[in-house]
């Protein structure tokens, strides 16, 4: 399957849409009417190379809940082709992430790396409208309200819950043609949101590379998008002085590998954790450093790196701990949590606080197993009806 497919019946009215999303139609229209005031914006850390500061937005509670339901009750029913690798819920058959994306280009002879310029801000309202109208084939009134609920100030918001699904459907009527054509020439294509990769196990000559890039650029132009020229790269396997990477992973071998500089960095982090652990395993800084290192070691393990097992063993010997003051705070919080009215157990703040407390008690059990185990057991019994975060957004 090269073309995305929506197997369900088209939604023919706003009444049916409201029923599908499990919300009263008046509530749905009310949320749609105040979308412009339903986002909170914040700035990410400056880019380490360009120093550019990127602003993203997050939908507020009511809109976020509606967008989550649009995902689970509409977008999750879409059958997405395997060449789309980012922003789609993973399954047991497909991880759909940057590692899986890179794995599809193993043992390449030639790599073509392309990047879409300012992708999300340039996916405009008319493109989103076309997705709901011509891909999903929804009625015009449904198209309009869904477009309103999933866009912000004229484009797809970076940080919106529905944005990655829309980004995967932007080229629903063109991308599959390119993929099919490439496959016919034994060329491989993947897209991880704004990151496009074409590869071949045989050398792609310069003339062919130029033509392939023009074909992709033509697809983008139909949606008023363009390639980011500085990010366009054509690399041959024989060019050992150049990076041979897909989404940050080396693909010279049959399986993607962590870059040498990243392996060295992870090794250094493990050593730094061991050094810090000799004098301090309880500070917030140590907890942060250990968790960061642990996450990177997990990445090595997934990529079958030979050092992953050793690093994991070393980290297991220096697990983060809590000091006496922090232990008292956690115990106090646990007793307070046991007095929170059951009627408040389904509030998002209560759910997050409960989950965080259970996590902290897990750490506390390393030094005071009896207290931690007892409080954890009491909390789980008292909060037996508390929903998961995912279920909260669904109700």
Per-residue model confidence as pLDDT tens digits over 267-276: 999 999 999 9
CA distance 342 to 246: 49
pLDDT tens-place string over residues 279-316: 999 999 999 999 999 999 999 999 999 999 999 999 99
In terms of domains, do 228 and 134 share one? Answer: yes
Is 165 inside any structural domain?
yes
Categorize the per-residue pLDDT at 49 as very low, low, confident or very high, splitting at 50, 70 and 90. low
CA distance 116 to 168: 13
Asked if 66 contacts 21 with a C-beta cutoff of 8 angstroms, the reply is yes
Is 303 inside any structural domain?
yes
Q: What's the whole-number mean pLDDT along residues 13-27?
A: 96
Residues 6+ apart with CB under 8 A from 266: 258, 293, 296, 297, 300, 311
Residues 6+ apart with CB under 8 A from 98: 85, 86, 192, 247, 248, 249
For residue 48, pLDDT over 70 is answered with: no
198 against 49, higher pLDDT = 198
Categorize the per-residue pLDDT at 146 as very low, low, confident or very high, splitting at 50, 70 and 90. very high
According to the model, what pLDDT value does residue 55 have?
81
Residues 6+ apart with CB under 8 A from 24: 18
For residue 93, pLDDT over 80 is answered with: no
In terms of domains, do 272 and 376 share one? Answer: no
In terms of domains, do 192 and 267 share one? Answer: no
Q: Which residue, of 270, 299, 316, is where some domain finishes?
A: 316
Q: Among 88-92, 146-150, 345-349, where is mean pLDDT lowest? A: 88-92
pTM over 0.85: yes
**Token pair of 3, please?**
């073309």
Is 366 inside any structural domain?
yes
For residue 325, pLDDT over 70 is answered with: yes
> Across-strand partners of 152?
155
Q: What's the whole-number mean pLDDT along residues 338-342?
A: 95
Q: Which residue, of 192, 220, 235, is where some domain finishes?
A: 235
Is 378 inside any structural domain?
yes
In terms of domains, do 45 and 134 share one? Answer: yes
DSSP character for 199? Answer: E
CB atoms within 10 A of CB 313: 9
Q: Among 22-36, 83-97, 274-288, 353-367, where is mean pLDDT lowest? A: 83-97
Pairing of strands 233-236, 195-200: unpaired
In terms of domains, do 99 and 119 share one? Answer: yes
Asked if 252 contacts 244 with a C-beta cutoff of 8 angstroms, the reply is yes
According to the model, what pLDDT value does residue 47 have?
65
Is 7 inside any structural domain?
no
Question: Beta-strand (E) ranges in 244-327?
Answer: 245-246, 249-250
**Token pair of 168, please?**
């995967």
Asked if 189 contacts 85 with a C-beta cutoff of 8 angstroms, the reply is no
In terms of domains, do 173 and 145 share one? Answer: yes
Question: Torsion over CA of 237, 240, 245 and 250, rounded to 10 degrees?
Answer: 100
- Asked whether the CA dihedral 268, 362, 300, 76 is positive or negative, the reply is negative
For residue 1, pLDDT over 80 is answered with: no
CB atoms within 10 A of CB 351: 19
CA distance 319 to 167: 40
In terms of domains, do 160 and 111 share one? Answer: yes
Is 240 inside any structural domain?
no
Is 135 inside any structural domain?
yes
CA distance 327 to 323: 6
Mean pLDDT of the chain: 94
Residues 6+ apart with CB under 8 A from 230: none
In terms of domains, do 170 and 135 share one? Answer: yes
Q: What's the whole-number mean pLDDT along residues 329-335?
A: 97
Is 67 inside any structural domain?
yes
Residues 6+ apart with CB under 8 A from 187: 198, 199, 200, 204, 212
In terms of domains, do 79 and 43 share one? Answer: yes
Task: Give the range of the structural domain holding residue 362, as residue numbers without chain letter.
Answer: 324-394
Categorize the per-residue pLDDT at 231 as very low, low, confident or very high, splitting at 50, 70 and 90. confident
Element (H, E) at 387: none
In terms of domains, do 136 and 23 share one? Answer: yes
According to the model, what pLDDT value does residue 50 have?
65
For residue 72, pLDDT over 80 is answered with: yes
In terms of domains, do 142 and 179 share one? Answer: yes
pLDDT tens-place string over residues 189-228: 999 999 999 999 999 999 999 999 999 999 999 999 999 9
Q: Which residue, of 235, 269, 284, is where some domain finishes?
A: 235
According to the model, what pLDDT value does residue 253 have?
85
How many domains are contained in the chain? 3
In terms of domains, do 230 and 341 share one? Answer: no
């Amino acid at each position: 399957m090269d073309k995305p497919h929506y197997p369900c019946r088209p939604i023919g009215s706003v009444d049916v849409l409201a029923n599908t999303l499990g919300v009263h139609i008046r509530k749905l229209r009310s949320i749609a009417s105040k979308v412009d005031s339903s986002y909170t914006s914040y700035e990410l850390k400056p880019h380490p190379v360009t120093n550019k500061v990127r602003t993203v937005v997050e939908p507020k509670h009511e809109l976020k809940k509606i967008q989550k339901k649009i995902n689970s009750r509409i977008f999750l029913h879409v059958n997405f082709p395997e060449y789309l690798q980012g922003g789609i819920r993973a399954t047991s058959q497909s991880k759909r992430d940057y590692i899986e994306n890179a794995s599809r280009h193993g043992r390449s002879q030639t790599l073509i790396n392309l990047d879409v310029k300012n992708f999300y801000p340039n996916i405009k309202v008319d493109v989103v409208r076309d997705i709901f109208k011509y891909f999903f084939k929804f009625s015009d009134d449904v198209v309009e309200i869904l477009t309103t609920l999933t866009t912000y100030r004229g484009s797809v918001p970076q940080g919106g819950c529905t944005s990655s699904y829309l980004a995967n459907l932007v080229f629903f009527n063109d991308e599959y043609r390119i993929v099919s054509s490439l496959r016919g020439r034994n060329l491989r294509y993947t897209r991880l949101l704004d990151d496009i990769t074409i590869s071949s196990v045989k050398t792609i000559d310069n003339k062919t590379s130029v033509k392939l890039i023009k074909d992709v650029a033509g697809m983008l132009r139909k949606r008023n998008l363009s390639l980011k020229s500085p990010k366009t790269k054509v690399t041959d396997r024989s060019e050992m002085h150049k990076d041979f990477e897909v989404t940050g992973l080396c693909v010279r071998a049959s399986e993607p590998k962590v870059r040498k500089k990243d392996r060295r960095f992870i090794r250094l982090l493990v050593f730094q954790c061991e050094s810090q652990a000799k004098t301090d395993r309880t500070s917030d800084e140590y907890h942060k450093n250990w968790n960061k290192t642990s996450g990177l070691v997990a990445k090595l393990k997934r990529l079958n790196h030979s050092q992953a097992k050793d690093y994991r063993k070393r980290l297991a010997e220096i697990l983060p701990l809590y000091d006496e003051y922090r232990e008292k705070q956690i115990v106090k919080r646990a007793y307070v949590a046991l007095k929170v009215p059951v009627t408040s157990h389904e509030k998002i703040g209560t759910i997050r606080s409960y989950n965080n407390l259970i996590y902290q008690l897990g750490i506390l059990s390393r030094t005071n197993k009896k207290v931690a185990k007892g409080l954890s057991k009491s909390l789980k019994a008292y909060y037996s009806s508390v929903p998961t975060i995912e279920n909260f957004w669904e109700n």
